[in-house]
Chain A
């Protein structure tokens, strides 16, 4: 489990990027937390810097869109999904379980 930040430090509509073995982005969508690989699968850009639209994030560089629930791209220019990760909140602290299989937000 990788610690991310305090729950109160990730307001609704915001994202945080953490340096794990592979950088991870954690998003707060209307109170539900989602974690995905931070690096766009299309070209080198941080999805934590992207635009949140419902359960999708739009890459800030080329507007590739990924579903935060599944990691799937909605279409070009991205061809490959990003990995999704399990998010856990314990005592007001957010953690990411990077090795967990794909699942919906918490």
Chain B
């Protein structure tokens, strides 16, 4: 290995570059990123940065004294991978010939069908956040489509900025997928408690407006006046560019637990990877910050042919909404038994453990980081890793 190319310059791409250097790789590392920015942290985009309490400079993921010796190709998009020639083709026409490839192209926000209207936003990138922040003025009416984590965080931040906020969620209970209906209900209650209207079990029929959005039409016939709309309905992995590469990449790049794809010396990490996860006992695509931070150590070891892999930790994510800190670790399935092990959901300070049989498989906490941390370490992988 003399040259390793990393497609994707966000947390997973940067973390892989760091992991390669950490593991002693001293060859050339080329990092391709379609955004013009050096790697930055995305979680604050819906919280501190959107609220105006954090600057773009503070989002930088690299430290000032970091000497990664990386050849950055920013503002350039990878458009094709030719594994036979070990070449990544960029939209500029440049071809990067390399010995190893890291796929870290992440995911993009899913959009509503139809032509885009002014005032309608998704939130994924720094530029998205800058554009949205400019429109979140006190007194304006914001409609958030989707009560997932991004939608809930944007609603919370916008409420804090003095907007009138309505959240529309197609499912009967927000966050029921990751958290289960009971905890989803507890989290969803935060909206109403902070003066945000939550409409559940109703879909969006369409948006109205001449050149700028004016209202959101719901499938039950209601019409919500809107000055600003944020669409938070999930993300799509950026893997279309891999069509024809021979990789299994339809719903994300499939990898084993070592981040290895079906092609030697090609690994995938972060939001674009569908990897075997020992805690889930299945191949899953994790869109969590911590996965993008930790998984690259495994990918780097695999790429460099090292036998010793870091032991994986339970999947983890957090969310800050309305002053509440939500934390979740592990992998929950329908049918797992939930038990509140500390505190009281009514007091909005509690921890709950999910068990499968008598084994703790997931833990959730609201405003109880210390209790959460103890339980998080009790979680064990669901099944032995396939060899």
Task: Indicate which residue in A45, A46, A50, A76 contacts B293 across the interface (CB closer than 8 Å).
Answer: A76
| Smallest CB gap from A61: residue in B | B318
Smallest beta-carbon distance A82→chain B, Å:
15
| Smallest CB gap from B41: residue in A | A77
Segment from B220-228, B238-246, B298-306, B366-374 that makes contact with A: B366-374
| Smallest CB gap from A48: residue in B | B370
| Majority DSSP secondary structure for residues of B touching A | helix
Smallest beta-carbon distance B319→chain A, Å:
11
**B370 touching A49, Cβ below 8 Å:** yes
Contacts of B325 in A (CB 8 A): 61
**A63 touching B290, Cβ below 8 Å:** yes
Number of A-B residue pairs, CB cutoff 8 Å, is: 37
By Cβ-Cβ distance, the 6 closest A-B pairs, closest first, are A60-B369, A79-B63, A49-B370, A49-B369, A60-B373, A51-B373
Contacts of B373 in A (CB 8 A): 49-51, 58, 60
**Residues of chain A at interface, number, CB under 8 A:** 15
- Cβ of A103 < 8 Å from any Cβ of B? no
**A60 touching B290, Cβ below 8 Å:** no
- Cβ of A43 < 8 Å from any Cβ of B? yes
- Give CA–CA (A29, B302) in the complex, Å: 36
- Give CA–CA (A79, B63) in the complex, Å: 6
Task: Indicate which residue in B48, B293, B318 contacts A77 across the interface (CB closer than 8 Å).
Answer: B293
- Give CA–CA (A84, B61) in the complex, Å: 24
| Contact residues, B42-67 vs A (CB, 8 A) | 43-44, 48, 61, 63-64
Smallest beta-carbon distance A30→chain B, Å:
19
- Give CA–CA (A45, B47) in the complex, Å: 14
10 contacts between A and B (CB under 8 A): A46-B369, A49-B369, A50-B373, A51-B373, A60-B370, A62-B290, A62-B318, A63-B290, A76-B18, A76-B61
| Smallest CB gap from B63: residue in A | A79
| Majority DSSP secondary structure for residues of A touching B | loop
If A51-B377, A62-B289, A77-B61 are given as contacts, then 11 extra A-B residue pairs at C-beta distance below 8 Å, sorted by A number, are A43-B44, A45-B369, A46-B369, A49-B370, A49-B373, A58-B373, A60-B327, A60-B373, A61-B318, A63-B290, A79-B64
Contacts of A77 in B (CB 8 A): 41, 61, 293
> Taking beta carbons and an 8 Å cutoff, which residues of B are in contact with A?
15, 18, 41, 43-44, 48, 61, 63-64, 289-290, 293, 318, 325, 327, 369-370, 372-373, 377
Contacts of B289 in A (CB 8 A): 62
| Smallest CB gap from B372: residue in A | A60
- Give CA–CA (A45, B48) in the complex, Å: 13
Q: Convert A37-74 into 0s and 1s, putting 1 for each residue whose CB lies closer than 8 angstroms to a CB of B.
A: 00000010110111100000010111100000000000
- Give CA–CA (A51, B378) in the complex, Å: 13
- Give CA–CA (A60, B290) in the complex, Å: 12
| Smallest CB gap from B371: residue in A | A49
Smallest beta-carbon distance B375→chain A, Å:
11
- Give CA–CA (A63, B377) in the complex, Å: 12
- Give CA–CA (A51, B377) in the complex, Å: 10
| Smallest CB gap from A78: residue in B | B63
**A76 touching B15, Cβ below 8 Å:** yes
Contacts of A48 in B (CB 8 A): 370
Contacts of B44 in A (CB 8 A): 43
Contacts of B370 in A (CB 8 A): 48-50, 60
Smallest beta-carbon distance B219→chain A, Å:
38
Smallest beta-carbon distance B11→chain A, Å:
9
Contacts of A58 in B (CB 8 A): 373
Smallest beta-carbon distance B151→chain A, Å:
21
- Give CA–CA (A48, B373) in the complex, Å: 12
Smallest beta-carbon distance A66→chain B, Å:
15
Task: Indicate which residue in A43, A61, A76 contacts B369 across the interface (CB closer than 8 Å).
Answer: A61
Contacts of A79 in B (CB 8 A): 63-64
